[in-house]
Amino acid sequence: MDAPAAGRLASLLATIATVRKSTSTSKPKGSRLKALPWAALLQAGVVIGNRWRSLSEKERARLGALVRDSRGRLGNLSEKERKELRRLTGKLDLKGMVRDLVPIARGGRKRRRRS
């Protein structure tokens, strides 16, 4: 590889992303905000919020404390705390939450069944 090509390669690797300089095909700032899936984010927030509110205030506080204490690793909890965490997440019905969130992530499209 010659020196100019190596310099170009190094400059590309040092950047996060290449940005097109042409303004003719770029979108105005307002349309970028409209491109965000606001309705889907709102629906997902409602689904998650409903599941979270299904727990009592005491259970929500305890679940938060267990997650904080675990620091993302179940091994950081005692066996008793792990059982309690499983019980509380079971009350959240995470599988049901996923079932409710998948159609939102797919844009409201139902899954096709194969025959």
pLDDT exceeding 70 applies to what percent of the chain?
Answer: 62
Phi, psi of 4 (to 5 degrees): -65, -40
Residues in the chain: 115
Output the pLDDT for position 8: 61
Q: Would you kindly state where each structural domain of the chain is located, as residue ranges? A: 56-107
pLDDT in tens, 13-23: 555 556 666 55
More confident residue, 34 or 105: 105
List Cβ neighbours of 97 (8 Å cut-off, separation of 6 or more).
47, 48, 51
C-alpha closest to that of 52 among 98, 93, 102, 81: 93
pTM of the model: 0.54
Res. 58: pLDDT tops 90 = yes
